[in-house]
Structure 1
Amino acid sequence: MSSSPEIIQQALDSKAWPFQEAETLLKRLEKAGNKKGYVLFETGYGPSGLPHIGTFGEVARTTMVRQAFEFISDVPTKLIAFSDDMDGFRKVPGNLPNQEMLANFIGMPLTKVPDPFGTHESFAHHNNARLCSFLDGFGFDYEFKSATEAYTSGEMDATLLKMLASFEAIMKVMLPTLGAERQATYSPFLPLCPRTGRVLQVPLVSRDVDAGTITYRDEETSQLVEVPVTGGHCKMQWKADWAMRWAGLGVDYEMAGKDLMESVKLSSAICRILGVLPPEGFSYELFLDENGEKISKSKGNGLTMDDWLKYGTPESLSLYMFQSPRKAKKLYFDIIPKTVDEYITHLGKYAEQEGKQKFANPVWHIHNGTPPAQKIPVTFALLLNLVSASNAEDKETLWGYISGYAEGATPEDLPLLDQLVGYALVYYENFVKPTKQYRAPTAEEKRALESLVEELESLEDNLPASDYQNVVFAVGNEQGYENLREWFGALYEILLGQKQGPRMGSFIALYGRKKTIDLIMDTLRSYK
C-alpha cells in the first residue's frame, strides 16, 4: 500500500462515505477473492439522450469511491462507462431535429438510428461521443464500452449461453414482478429481427440450449424464426442485461438511484443464478426541483449541467454531489451561490486540518487528496452584493475593490477568485437584479442610518472588517433595536433591495468606507 496503516486508519475513521464504501468493497475482495487482478467500477449510460447532471453525479460519486479505494488498497482499479447503445429506440425526443425521419426508426437499435444532427454514424454514436467529451472535460479516468460492441464482438457470448441455460430460473425471478398480460409475452431475450433489424419484444416459441438459439414467431409473416443468442443477434431485457453485464465483465462496484432499487435486487438475483457475486453498490437519492418534486428530463423542471456551470464552478458541482448523497436534495438556481461558498469554506479549512479531519473534508475527495492551496479572501455571496452596490458590469471594476480589500490580490495569483468574479456578474444579472425590491426607510430607520454615517465618518479606511462590524452592531443597539436581525434586515432591504445580505463589516471593508457612506447618503436623499 502506498499509504501507511496509520494514515489509512485515519481515512477510515473520517467516516466520509466514499471511504466507508471503499472499506466495504475491500472486505468483499478479502472474503471472495479477485481473479481479474483489478477491481472494476462501472457506471451506466442510456444514449437515447444527451449526458446530463445525473450522468455527472453518478460518474463523480463513483470516482470518489474509486479514489478512496485506491488510497486504502494497492489493488489496481478500472472504471468503465458503459453505454446501452443496442437498446431499441422507443420514442422520438421532442428536442431533436428531423423528427419525421427519426419516427421511421422506432424499435431499431440506437446504433442503427441515423444521427439527426448529421455528424456521426448513428444517433448512439453521436451521444456516445458527447458522453466521452463530457467526461473528458471533467478529467475523469475511465474506459468507454459500447453494448453493441460487447454483444457483436462475442465478449458476452459465454454469459449469454449461461443465461439461456438458466432461462427457467431467470423467468422465476422476473415473472412475479410483471402483470398478467406482460407475463404471457415476456422473455429476457430480445431477438434482433433478421428481416427488419428491429429489437423485438416477442414471446419465445422454443429454445435450444445445445445449439444456443431461440425461436419466435414473426408477427407480420407468421413464420418461425430461429436466431442465435450470441454474436449480437439478441440483446437482453433491461434487468437481465444489467445482470449479464455484471457477470460478463466481472463488475465489482456500481451505484444506482433509489428509483432502481428493485432493479438492483432482481439483477443481483439473476447474477447469483449465473454463479457470480453481484457487485457492491450504493443507492443514492434523486434530485428535487424547488417545489420538492422529482426532477424529470421530460418535464425539464431541474437544472442542467450547462445551467450550473454558467453560474458556478465545476468543483462546486462536485461538492453538491458529495454532500449527503442518500438524502433527496433540491437542485435549482438558488443553491449555486450557497454551494460555491461552502466549497470556498472547505478549501480554506483544509490546510489547517489534520488526520481524519482532512479525509472528511469534501475537497480531499473532489481533488483526489491534492486540493489547490488557494485562500479565497471574498465569498461568492459578498461578490454578488458588491456587484449590486457598485453596479459593476465587468471584472476589472470588481477587481479594483478586491485589490483594495485584499492587498496584493490579483487575478493571476487567484484564478479561482477570478472565475468567481465572472460567475457573480452573470448570476447577479440573471437572478438577483430582476428580483430586487428596495423600500423606503421609516423615520426611525433614517435616524439609525444617519447615525451609522456619523460613526463611519469617524473611522479610518482599510480597517479590519470586524471593526466596521462592531460599529454597525453598536449603532443598532444605540438606536434601540432589541433584535439586531431587524436592523440588519433593514440595511439589506433599504440599501441593497433584498431580504438577505452579507456580513456588513465585510461588505464595508470590501466596498470601501467612503463608498458605503455615499451609498447610504444617496439612499437617504432619494427618499426625502
Structure 2
Amino acid sequence: MSEDDERVIIGKGTWIDKLASEMIEREKQLGRDTSMLRVESGLGASGIPHIGSLGDAVRAFGVKLALENLGYKSELIAYSDDLDGLRKIPEGLPSWLEEHLGKPVSLIPDPFGTHESYGMHMSSILLDGLDKLGIKYKFQRAIETYKQGLLKSQIHTILTNSERIGKQIEDMVGQEKYQKFLPYYPVCTKCSRLYTAQSYEYDSERMKVKYRCVDAEIGSRMLKGCGHEGEADIAKDLGKLAWKVEFAARWHAFDIRFEAYGKDIMDSVKVNDWVSDEILGHPHPHHVKYEMFLDKGGKKISKSAGNVVTSQKWFRYGTPKSMLLLLYKRITGARELGFEDIPVLMDEYNELEDIYFGKIKVDNEAKLVKSRGLYEYVNLLNPPKTAPTHVNFRLLIELCRIFKEDRISLVTKKLIDYGAIKAPEPHIDELITLAGNYADDFEDSETTAVQINEQAKKALGQLVKVLSSESEPEDLQNTIYNISKENNVAPKEFFMILYQIIIGASRGPKIGPFIMDIGRKKVAQTISRHI
C-alpha cells in the first residue's frame, strides 16, 4: 500500500486496517458468509525458522486483529508443512541427515534429540517465537491433516482434473512436469521418500494412485529412487499434494479468506488461485505480497544458508515489542536485517509510545493517527494504560560496555546519577540485561549518519585532540562548551551532535561526565569515524 496520507481513516489508520477492509469488501462482493473470516499462515518445517517465517504469521495475526476491530469474528490457522520433504541439510546440522533427504521432515529423527521428529523440532522453534510475541493461533500440522483425510475430497477433485491442471500449469508458468505425472506425491512404502515417488495414474473409483520410485532432481542435486512400484490410497496412505495445488486444497478445506505470500512463491500462488477458483469452486483468498528479509550483505535470509536471524537470538538483545514493530511498520519493500537494527527499533518504539501518550506532539493529523495505530498493533490492540519509564537503549549499551561486573546495580546507579531514572525498576533491570548481552556480543562498529556542517566538523576535530591527549582536562564539560563557542557553533547544537554520535539520540546525560565514564579515547575514536 502507498504510504500517502489516507483521506478516510479506516480502523486504526494503518496498512493492516486497509487490508482488512479490502478483504471484507471483497467477501461482500462474492456474497460469501462473513460470520467467520479465517486467515492462514504457512510455516515451513524443513529448516531453522527465521524472522521471515515468523513474520508471515505475525502479519496474518495483525489482519485477524483488524477484522475483529471492525466487528468480525476471525481466527489464524498456523499451518506447519511438516510433510514436506527435506531438500538439503541446513548449515550446521549433522551430515547423517544425508540419508534422510527426500523424506517428509516429520518422519526424520530430531538431530537435537528433544522432539519426536525433525519437523516437530523446527515447528516448535517457530511456535515458541509466536508464543513469546503473544500471537494466538490454531496449530495445524500437515501430517495430521493428511492422516485424518481432511483434504481427501480436494485431492480426489484435483487428481480427477489432473490433465486440465497440467496444461494450465504449463500455460501459466511454463512447467511441463505435471503433464507427465500427477501433482501428488505418495510416500514410497519401501524407502519412505516423497519426491522420488512419482504417481502416473489415478483410479478414481478406488481413490488410489499408481506410482514408481525413480531418480528425481531436488534443488540442484539428483536423489536416487529405490525402483519400487506400488499403489497408494489417497485417504489412508501417507502422501501430499504438490505445492502448485496444495494451497488451493487447504484454502477450500479450511475455508481460508486471507493469506499473504512472499514473492519467491508467486508462481505457485498464481496456479493455486486458478485451481481454487476453477477446479475447487472456492474463490481464492485475498492476498498481499510481501518482500523477503535480506541479510546485511543483500542475500535472502534462508533456513538452509545459515544466515538466520531467529526470534530466539533476537530476544537475547531486544524485546518482543521491538520485533513486532519491525514486522508491523510496513509490508512492502525488501529490508536488510541484522541484529544491529535492534537498538534503533528499541528507541523507535519508545518514541512511538511517547507519541501515543502525548509526550511528543505531532502536528500532522494523518501521521499522528498512523503512529498511534501502529503502536496499538505492536501491543496487539491491548496497549498499556500508562507509559513505563524510558531509557535510551544505546545509552544502556554504552554503560554496559563500561560495567561488566555487578552490571545491573552499577548501571542503575549511573542512570540515577544522570537523572535518567528516579529509582531501580524490574523493567529497567530487564533492559539492562538485554543491552548487556548486546554489548558483550557485538563490537561497537556502527556509524549512524549525522548531519555535520564544516564549522561543527572543525569543532569536533578540536575536541578529538583534547580527548586523545595524555593529560586529562580539568573540566571537560566547560572545555566542550568553549570549543563550540570558539568555532561559532551553538553549544546546544554541539551537544546534540555529540549525543547523536555517541548514543544516536538528540539528548542524554550531562555530556562531560558521560564522556569520562565511557572513556575519552574511545569517544575520540567514535567521533573520528564521523569527520
1:380 aligned residue: 393
Paired with 1:112 and 1:444, the residues of 2 have a C-alpha distance of 65
Q: Which runs of 5+ in 1 are unaligned?
A: 1-8, 458-470, 493-497
User: Cα offset for 1:364?
Assistant: 0.4
Which one of 340, 343, 364 corresponds to residue 337 of structure 1? 343
What TM-score comes out, normalization by structure 1 length? Answer: 0.79
Distance, in Å, in 2 between the alignment partners of 1:196 and 1:56 is 32
The Cα shift of 1:338 comes to: 0.8
Aligned to 1:20: 18
Partners of 1:137 and 1:12 lie apart in 2 by 29
**Shift, 1:160, TM fit:** 1.4
Aligned to 2:124: 129
Pair 1:425-2:436 in alignment? yes
Rounded Cα–Cα distance in structure 2 between residues aligned with 1:218 and 1:502: 60
Q: Deviations over 1:302-353 (max 9, x none)?
A: 5332332222111111101112220111101321111110001101211228
Q: Deviations over 1:232-268 (max 9, x none)?
A: 4431111211111111211111111122222211111
Q: Distance in 2 between matches of 1:367 and 1:235?
A: 38
Partner residue in 1 for 2:221: none
C-alpha deviations, 1:376-417, integer Å up to 9, x for none?
3421123334445677760111111222444873343xx443
Write the deviation string for residues 273-299 of structure 1: whole angstroms up to 9, x where unpaired. Answer: 211111111111111222333223333
Deviations along 1:444-480, one digit per CA (max 9) or x if unpaired, are: 8668999x976956xxxxxxxxxxxxx96x6454212
Q: State how far apart, in whole Å, the 2-side matches of 1:223 and 1:446 are.
A: 78
Q: Does structure 2 conserve the Cα–Cα contact (< 8 Å) formed by 1:489 and 1:500?
A: no
Judged with a 3 Å threshold, the aligned counterparts in structure 2 of structure 1 residues 157 and 40 are, in CA distance, closer, same or farther, namely: same
1:393–1:292 CA distance, 2 compared to 1 (3 A)? farther
Indicate the residue corresponding to 2:89 in structure 1: 92
Which residue matches 1:467?
A: none
Distance 2:11 2:138 in 1: 31
What SS does structure 2 have at the residue aligned with 1:402? helix
Question: Where does residue 237 of structure 1 map in the other structure?
Answer: 242
Q: Which structure 2 residues correspond to residues 453-492 of structure 1 after superposition, within 5 A?
A: 456=477, 475-481=482-488
- Seen in structure 2, the aligned counterparts of structure 1 residues 107 and 329 have a Cα distance that, compared at 3 Å, is closer
Aligned partner of 1:256 in structure 2 is: 261
Identical counterparts, % of pairs: 29
1:225 aligns with 2:230: yes
The residue identity in structure 2 corresponding to 1:429 is: D
2:301 partner SS: coil
**Aligned mates of 2:517, 2:50 — CA distance in 1:** 43
Report the residue type matching 2:112 in the other structure: F
| Alignment match, 1:363 | 375
* Residues 187, 201 of structure 1: 8 Å contact kept: no
Q: CA offset at residue 56 of structure 1?
A: 1.9
Measure the CA separation in 1 of the matches of 2:157 and 2:430.
54
Contact 1:157-1:231 at 8 Å conserved across structures = no
Amino acid corresponding to residue 63 of structure 1 in structure 2: F
Change in CA separation of 1:521 and 1:183 when aligned onto 2, cut-off 3 Å:
closer
- Return the letter of the residue paired with 2:57: V
The structure having more radius of gyration, on CA atoms, is: 1
Q: Is the 8 A contact 1:108 1:197 kept in 2?
A: yes
1:61-140 map, 5 Å:
61-73=59-71, 75-97=72-94, 99-100=95-96, 102-140=97-135
Which residue of the partner structure matches residue 302 of structure 2? 296
**Normalising to structure 2: TM-score of the pair?**
0.79
Alignment correspondent of 1:165: 160
- The verdict on how the C-alpha distance between 1:453 and 1:22 changes in structure 2, with shifts beyond 3 A counting, is farther
**Residues in 2 aligned to 1:251 and 1:383: alpha-carbon distance in whole angstroms:** 45
Aligned residue pairs, count: 485
Give the counterpart of 1:190 among 169, 182, 185: 185
Matches within 5 A, 1:272-287: 272-273=277-278, 274-287=280-293
Compute the displacement of 1:22 (Å). 0.9
User: Partner of 2:510 in structure 1?
Assistant: 508
Report which stretch shifted further, 313-322 or 420-429: 420-429
The DSSP-based 3-state class of the residue aligned with 1:45 is strand
